[in-house]
Structure 1
């Protein structure tokens, strides 16, 4: 089964990791993808809490990863896990995902996310339907780019009037990406009515607003996953 991890008990809670399928930084020719530590740390946190973890990407198949570090313990654990390695090799396309099957939908970042997450109608529908089915919607770093195209059934943006965190303008400047990315994510979220909440550059920072949980940067990943679990635990199963 593509994108699915076998061998977990039936009836256990399930988290979905959503990854970018974009592997190129605009017209630069430089590689990008989903940020590997965000994938690994979110997976490890969810799995440690007893969640079954499944993986989807915009196009399905094997998604590109950036900043792979084989010396990172979380990534070592991820790539040593045979079930997750198989799931990452053949992720579910988001258009095939059942939005009612998950208690948590977590969108990882990485600069690749800027180029495809905001524009994918199937992803927007998945996030809308999962949220309206009482799932926790979580994202970290550039993952909140997925919210730019996500409207609820009432026509309002998912983030309208909500407190959110994401990779900040200062952080984009610090990594030399302001002239590469097509837009600054924090500014675009504010355009959709979000209230951007930021900490200092590269500090862990998580914002919880009801069933919307967002984090600022890769250092925030575990905290986002932990808070998503806490919110889901407090919600009906």
Structure 2
């Protein structure tokens, strides 16, 4: 059975504040529900392993099927309480890696060397790099063996500067995903704020915001079929 590695954050709050953040629930559950329905298996990994916090705001944006997945014992244990650590992962087991979002990832995804190595190996083995919303932060610094950014000259998308302003978080995030992507040579594409938009360039598939999860999953499933 084909397997996808789903990456989740361990960050519980906006750094330097008392405001909670974490995984944006739907960006995990909507994707997992879609790929499991197609017969694919998933594993969950986080930078530290173990506990994965939820962004409390994300609980307002769930539908019946993804809420059922959230309530399942499998998701509660393997994703939210006992997520794997990078050292537990064998990259050759996976056909794709998928970076979820939520603002927490801005602090623990970009510079995690172990996750970068896992993603690079999956990609070198012919697998797919995928992300949605802030999850693009996990792709920003991955380099090939020659030191070139994997996103250079690729059309990608993620949470935009405008969306960050509208979210009211421009003063607390450590960087803007769009700016870093463009600085690393990517062709950053976008649609209207908070509209469904996903794009594929080769074996890199990215979605703009939380409303793009199903589109990312469908592009990946089509590519794997």
TM-score range, shorter chain: over 0.9
Runs of 4+ in structure 1 off by over 6 angstroms are: none
Partner residue, 2:45: 56
2:170 aligned with 1:178:
yes
What SS does the corresponding residue of 1:54 show, helix, strand or coil?
Answer: strand
Q: Which ranges of structure 2 fall in alignment gaps of 5 or more residues?
A: none
Number of the residue aligned with 1:114: 106
| Secondary structure, counterpart of 1:62 in structure 2 | coil
How many residues end up aligned between the 2 structures? 222
Q: Which residue of 2 aligns with 1:82?
A: 73
1:226 Cα deviation after fit: 1.1
Contact 1:34–1:112 (CA<8 Å) still a contact in 2?
A: yes
Aligned to 1:72: 63
Cα distance, 1:137 vs structure 2: 1.0
Q: What SS does the aligned partner of 1:125 have?
A: helix
Partner of 2:48, secondary structure, is: coil
Q: Indicate whether 1:204 and 2:193 are aligned.
A: no
> Hey, what's the Cα distance between the residues in 1 that align with 2:198 and 2:154?
13
CA distance in 2, matches of 1:200, 1:94: 35
Structure 1 residue 151 and structure 2 residue 136: aligned? no
Give the Cα–Cα distance (whole angstroms) in 2 for the partners of residues 42 and 55 of structure 1: 12
* TM-score (norm. length: structure 1): 0.90
Kindly indicate whether the alpha-carbon contact (under 8 Å) linking 2:69 and 2:75 is maintained by their aligned counterparts in 1: yes
Q: Deviations over 1:10-42 (max 9, x none)?
A: xx1111110111111011121111110101101
Say whether the 8 Å CA contact 1:169–1:186 is kept in structure 2: yes
Q: C-alpha root-mean-square deviation of aligned residues, in Å?
A: 1.3
Shift of 1:69: 3.9
Shift of 1:80: 3.0
Q: TM-score, normalised by structure 2?
A: 0.95
Q: Is the 8 A contact 1:135 1:232 kept in 2?
A: no
Could you say which residue in structure 1 is the equivalent of 2:33? Answer: 44
The separation in 1 between residues aligned to 2:103 and 2:163, in whole angstroms, is 12
User: Deviations along 1:29-87, whole A, 9 cap, x unmatched?
Assistant: 21111110101101101100100111111100021111224863233221232222221
Unaligned 5+ segments in structure 1 are: 1-11
- Pairwise mapping of residues 184-199 of structure 1 onto structure 2 (< 5 A)? 184-199=176-191
For residues 24 and 86 of structure 2, the distance between their equivalents in structure 1, rounded to whole angstroms, comes to 18
Distance 1:181 1:228, change over 3 A: same
